[in-house]
Amino acid sequence: MQELAYWIWLSRIEDINRKTLFKLLEKYKTPENLWNMDVGVADHSYPGTCGQVPLQYKNIIDKITDMKYRQQLDKYIEYMDKNNIEIITIYDKEYPDKLKEIYDPPISLYVKGDKTIFSNPSISIIGCRKCSKYGENTAEKFAYDLASNNINIISGLARGIDTYAHMGALAAKGKTAAVVGSGLDRVYPPENKAVFEKIIETGGAVISEYVIGTKPAARNFPERNRIISGISNGVVVVEAKEKSGTLITVNFALEQGRDVYAVPGNIDNPNSCGTNRLIKEGARLITEPGEILEDLM
């Protein structure tokens, strides 16, 4: 079986945290060795057990040996080949260097488009889905100006600010990457199919840590937010409500040591509550894309 199949298998396994998978890969060296591990030896090699395997560890072994994750891997490979989807692992040179630095990096990424762009300087532009016209225009303007200066624009392909950030970069004929919370066989939201395809056509990329067939479940989006900030030099928040998923990305950015920028907004607009509070708490207030360019030069 080809190496790709083992990585696909590993990404299919549910409910084992990435730290555990990293430890297993460290022990067994490759997914193929993990696939072929001797369960009896694994049981007895668990430290401090004296042959009595803890329930948590037994559950991990059960997941790894579960046949449902090992079936039909050839169909995944066939679909990926047909649709120009690649997988890059944390051990590959194309894996984004900045992403390796974060606390909880994905072991592998599915990529559709140009996987080499992640070595370029990148800024993520994020904000609320139900944005104002001011938010639309601001996201598009910042993305256009930054992309015109060879800065990758990163966002999440969501409705609202994300969409206008991607569109601004595309209008500038720059590079943009979308980090999604589903498999790359699905476009979510579906009305962004044209944006999805345009990103790839113009030399950008759409990436996901989720295997083909993964639905856009609500729990996936907070997880993908750590990748949005993780592959970026900084995060620009255009509009965010007081309680917003956007602020999850900001928290990841702060943990990862990324710069956080916020565009001020109308104090009477609920969409400005989150951004204005970020400014009070120390995010850098910006009104021009040039202020970000100064930091990147």
pLDDT tens per residue across span 218-231: 999 999 999 999 99
Res 41 pLDDT > 60: no
Pairing of strands 205-208, 108-113: antiparallel
pLDDT tens per residue across span 131-179: 999 999 999 999 999 999 999 999 999 999 999 999 999 999 999 999 9
**What is the pLDDT at residue 56?**
58
Task: Name the residue ranges covered by the structural domains of the chain.
Answer: 3-73, 111-296
Task: Tell me which fold the domain 111-296 belongs to.
Answer: Rossmann fold (3.40.50)
**SS3 for 235?**
strand
Per-residue tokens: 37: 């591990």
| Model confidence band, residue 38 (pLDDT cutoffs 50, 70, 90) | low
Rounded Cα gap, residues 181 and 117, in angstroms = 20
Burial of 133 (0-12, 13-18, 19+ CB in 10 A): exposed
Alpha helices in the chain (DSSP H): 3-12, 18-28, 31-35, 39-44, 55-65, 73-82, 97-100, 133-148, 161-171, 193-201, 220-230, 246-255, 273-280, 289-296
Residue 63 or residue 175, greater confidence: 175
Among 35-39, 92-96, 196-200, 232-236, where is mean pLDDT lowest?
35-39
Is the separation of the CB atoms in 222 and 110 below 8 Å? no
Write down the pTM of the prediction: 0.91
pLDDT tens per residue across span 80-128: 999 999 999 999 999 999 999 999 999 999 999 999 999 899 999 999 9
